[in-house]
Each structure stands twice: as structure tokens, then as C-alpha cells.
């Protein structure tokens, strides 16, 4: 298949409006069914040789049996669903156009994570064309609800594989990228060995409802605001977890112009102090505190009795959800604010840390070095959450890496207005997945 045919397939996949909805909203499954139909046409060899199953109404599970049944299978995973693009008014190109312009392909999901779906299938199609038979079983898993927690997609796939007695040697997911960090003088490829934990707390102050013309001197809303200000002032202690320490060791000699000269070559501890000034750096070294929703009364002249706020935390390894609850209570309770878990189903502890001493880590490293010889490959941590939170239950190691340049927007590029990927990055992603599947499936 020619490069332009591969690009046309990817562009077509971007045109389906596979938008995930929040719980309670109607999930339109039609675009997922249409995508699944189109994939059959676009990747005939994959559909001939792999077994394909539909899980949870929209997720797709592909299995290619390896010759050696004593080897544990390995998985590559991506997701079909995307976050909403609203009306696309501020997009340079319409969000579901899959349009080519300025050397880029534009569309919601271009990075997150249809480049994975399309790139992984294309890689398998290409190697099957050359008569490929794996020693190790290859599994591709594409969820349809990753953006809303993966509870009917990835979680159901885990249940099915567990019933079949399948345990995976590894999973390759999103969550590491080619970053242009503002404190570095070059791009680096970061392989996520772990992902941070996730927790939301509800903070509520208690008072009496009243008329705004006769307020008390201290209101519940005032207490809540004081409490939120104290929370921001009392951030969690910065910590060097294992993958981040290794990342700093590997990159301390690559600090850029934005860092003062005396810091140009720094120890991991000094690196921590230097980079916490940037939001993206801060997220690497501490459990973050993000005040996201605040609610008082429903009218400008009503004093609220129970104003509340939701605060979202992303925990580094070493900080548990209970540690976070205790820290927040120690600040909130003296101010008359109580603290509860918002949704216990949405609490995730920080993941375990994958080993760097495996064939898979070596295969990722080798594939990146072959495509981008000038880009250093380093371990790191992913500050957000992926479907891997489910897969880690049945896998020895989870690696998070999507071979895409995020550019100056960093992780913001993923859900941005104007999500896009360069043509070059997409074709390189296909080469990357090809090299990875070949290497890991062969013993």
C-alpha cells in the first residue's frame, strides 16, 4: 500500500464522530458501528488473519494466535472514542474533516488516539502482506469509552480475557510522547512507566441560608473560599518517584536557555526545584491540586447554606488517596469545611512502575532510535489516566508511548481546538508500530 493510501485511510477514520458522552447522556453508537465496518474494508488482511470481537457494544478486540502457545500474549491498545469538539467554530479545519493542510492532518482524535487505532492496524496489515507469522500471540484492543473511564470497554475486555485465562506479558498504550518541555533544549521521547493516581474530593461548608441584604459577618461561602486558598498555599511535597528520578538523571545535561546558567547541569533534586515552576514540570514531581468546580446558591441575593467545591488530585506514586484525604481534612476541618470522596468508583491509586529490563522496553527504545536517531529516549510518568488502569490488572508491564510530537502545547494538544498531527508523524507511527510488533512477537 502506498503512503498516500495509508493517509487516506487514517483521514477517513477521523471523519466518524465517535464522541464519548458523560454518564447519563445518550451514547450514539452509530459512528462506532460505521467505523468498525470501514475498518474491515481498509484492513482486509488483518480481518482475514486476526479474530475480531465486538465488546461492550463498541470496543474491538483483535487476536492473532502465535505459534508458541507457551508464551504470554502482548497487547497494543488505543481508543476509538474522542472528546467532544463542540461546534468546531474555533478550529482551523472542521473537527471531523480529516483534512490535509500545511503538512498536517486535522481532526478530533488525530493524536488522542486514532493515530494509534489506525497506525496499529496499518502496521499489522503491512506485515501480514509480507507473510508474517508471530511466535507470540498479538492482541489489539480498541476501547469505545476510554474518555469516560473505560468501564464498558477496557474493563469488559479485561473480564473476557481473565475468563479465558489470558495474562499478558505487556501492554503498549498512550501516555508517553515526544515532548518539547519548556526547560529543555531539545525534544525527548518519554516512555511512561507509570501513571498518576486520580481522586476528586467534595469540600462543603455549612451555614444558614439567608437574604443577601442581611449577611452574617462570616458566611459558609467565605469559609469555603478561605479553605480553597489554604489548599493552594499548602501544596503536597514535591517527590522524586523512580521513573522521574531516572528521567532527570538522563536529561539534566539538556537544560535550555530558559533555565538560569548556574542550573545548566543539575542533580535530580535541583531539577525538581527548577522544573516545578512550569505546570507540566510540577505535574511530574508532586500530587497536584486542581480546584475545578465551585457552587454557591442559585441566585445573586441568596446566601448559600451549603456551598461546595470539587477538587481534583493526581497522585504521584507514594501518595495514596487516603494520604490526600487526610492532608485536605487537616486543612479544611479547622476552617469548618468537611471533606468527602466525590465518587468512590473514580478513585485510582498511582499505578505500579513497569520494568525497563524487558524486551518490550528495548523494542520501544530501538524503534524510536531507528526513526529519530537524535531524540533521546527516557523513562517518565504520565500525569493523566488511560485504559491501562484496567489492563494493568492482567499485564506484567504496561508501557505508555505514542510516537507523536506534542509540540509547545504539550498534553494540551490532545484535547485542543485544532487537534492535528503531521503527515510525517503519522507515517512514522506506522513504522514504529511495525518495528515494535515484529520485534516483540518474535522470540
State which residue, 66 or 107, has the beta carbon closest to Zn ion. 107
State which residue, 112 or 126, has the beta carbon closest to Zn ion. 112
d(CA 384, CA 411): 9
Q: Which of 16, 33, 39, 58 is nearest to 125 (CA)?
A: 39
113 binds Zn ion (CB under 5 A): yes
177 binds Zn ion (CB under 5 A): no
Site string for Zn ion, 204-223 (x = CB under 5 A): --------------------
Least distance from Zn ion to the Cβ atom of residue 154, Å: 11
Active-site residue, selected from the candidate residues 93, 126, 145, 146: 146
The reply to whether 276 belongs to the active site is no
Which residues are bridge partners to 337 per DSSP?
205
Q: Using CB under 5 A, which of the segments 13-21, 60-68, 111-119, 434-442 binds Zn ion?
A: 111-119
Q: Phi/psi at 368 (nearest 5 deg)?
A: -65, -45
Q: Under rule CB under 5 A, which residues in 250-309 are in contact with Zn ion?
A: none
d(CA 12, CA 14): 5
32 binds Zn ion (CB under 5 A): no
Q: Rg for the chain (alpha carbons), in Å?
A: 23
Site string for Zn ion, 418-437 (x = CB under 5 A): --------------------
State which residue, 112 or 187, has the beta carbon closest to Zn ion. 112
Q: Under rule CB under 5 A, which residues in 355-394 are in contact with Zn ion?
A: none
- Number of residues forming the site for Zn ion (CB under 5 A): 2
| The binder of Zn ion chosen from 93, 112, 145, 425 (CB under 5 A) | 112
Q: Is 30 exposed, middle or buried (0-12, 13-18, 19+ CB in 10 A)?
A: exposed
State which residue, 20 or 289, has the beta carbon closest to Zn ion. 20
Q: Using CB under 5 A, which of the segments 97-105, 109-117, 345-353, 362-370 binds Zn ion?
A: 109-117
The reply to whether 146 belongs to the active site is yes
- Coil, strand, or helix at residue 404? coil
User: DSSP string covering 253-306, please?
Assistant: GGB-TTS-GGGSS--HHHHHHHHTTSHHHHHHHS-EEEEEEEE--SSTTEE-SS
Least distance from Zn ion to the Cβ atom of residue 335, Å: 37
State which residue, 327 or 389, has the beta carbon closest to Zn ion. 389
User: DSSP string covering 361-373, please?
Assistant: HHHHHHHHHHH-T
What number of other Cβ atoms are within 10 A of residue 163's Cβ?
8
Binding-site ranges for Zn ion (CB under 5 A): 112-113
Residues annotated as catalytic are 81, 146
Amino acid at each position: 500500500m502506498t503512503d498516500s493510501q495509508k493517509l487516506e485511510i487514517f483521514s477517513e477514520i477521523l471523519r466518524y464522530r465517535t464522541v464519548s458522552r458523560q454518564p447519563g447522556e445518550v451514547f450514539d453508537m452509530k459512528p462506532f458501528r460505521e467505523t468498525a465496518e470501514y475498518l474491515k474494508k481498509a484492513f482486509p488482511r488483518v480481518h482475514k488473519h486476526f479474530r475480531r470481537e465486538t465488546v461492550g457494544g463498541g470496543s474491538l478486540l483483535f487476536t492473532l494466535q502465535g505459534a508458541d502457545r507457551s508464551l504470554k500474549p502482548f497487547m497494543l491498545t488505543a481508543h476509538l472514542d474522542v472528546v467532544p469538539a463542540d461546534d468546531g467554530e474555533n478550529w482551523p479545519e472542521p473537527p471531523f474533516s480529516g483534512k490535509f493542510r500545511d503538512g498536517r492532518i486535522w481532526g478530533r482524535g488525530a493524536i488522542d488516539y486514532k493515530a494509534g487505532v489506525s497506525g496499529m492496524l496499518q502496521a499489522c496489515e503491512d506485515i501480514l502482506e509480507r507473510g508474517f507469522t508471530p511466535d507470540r500471540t498479538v492482541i489489539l484492543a480498541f476501547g469505545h469509552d476510554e474518555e469516560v473511564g473505560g468501564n464498558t470497554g477496557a474493563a469488559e475486555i479485561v473480564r473476557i480475557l481473565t475468563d479465558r485465562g489470558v495474562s499478558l506479558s505487556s501492554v503498549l498504550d498512550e501516555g508517553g510522547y515526544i515532548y518539547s518541555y519548556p526547560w529543555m533544549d531539545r525534544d525527548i521521547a518519554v516512555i511512561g512507566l507509570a501513571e498518576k493516581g486520580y481522586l476528586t474530593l467534595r469540600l462543603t461548608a455549612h451555614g444558614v441560608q439567608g437574604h443577601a441584604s442581611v449577611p452574617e459577618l462570616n458566611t459558609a461561602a467565605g469559609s469555603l473560599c478561605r479553605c480553597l486558598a489554604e489548599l493552594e498555599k499548602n501544596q503536597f511535597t514535591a517527590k522524586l518517584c523512580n521513573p522521574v528520578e531516572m528521567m532527570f538523571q538522563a536529561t539534566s545535561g539538556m537544560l535550555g536557555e530558559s533555565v538560569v546558567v548556574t542550573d545548566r547541569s543539575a542533580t535530580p533534586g535541583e531539577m525538581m526545584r527548577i522544573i516545578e515552576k512550569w505546570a507540566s514540570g510540577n505535574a511530574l514531581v508532586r500530587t497536584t491540586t486542581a480546584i475545578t468546580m465551585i457552587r454557591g446558591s442559585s441566585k445573586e441575593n441568596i446566601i448559600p447554606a451549603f456551598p461546595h467545591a470539587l477538587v481534583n488530585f493526581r497522585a504521584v506514586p507514594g501518595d495514596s488517596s487516603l494520604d490526600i484525604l487526610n492532608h485536605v481534612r487537616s486543612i479544611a476541618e479547622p476552617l469548618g469545611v468537611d471533606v468527602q470522596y466525590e465518587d468512590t468508583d473514580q478513585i485510582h491509586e498511582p499505578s505500579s512502575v513497569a520494568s525497563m529490563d524487558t524486551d518490550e522496553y528495548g523494542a520501544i527504545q530501538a524503534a524510536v532510535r531507528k526513526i529519530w536517531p537524535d531524540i533521546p529516549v527516557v523513562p517518565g510518568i504520565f500525569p493523566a489516566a488511560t485504559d491501562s488502569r484496567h489492563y494493568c490488572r492482567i499485564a506484567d508491564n504496561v508501557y505508555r508511548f505514542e510516537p507523536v510530537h506534542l509540540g509547545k502545547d504539550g498534553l494540551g494538544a490532545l484535547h485542543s481546538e485544532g487537534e492535528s498531527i503531521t503527515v510525517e508523524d503519522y507515517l512514522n507511527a506506522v513504522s514504529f508500530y511495525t518495528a515494535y510488533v515484529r520485534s516483540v512477537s518474535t522470540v
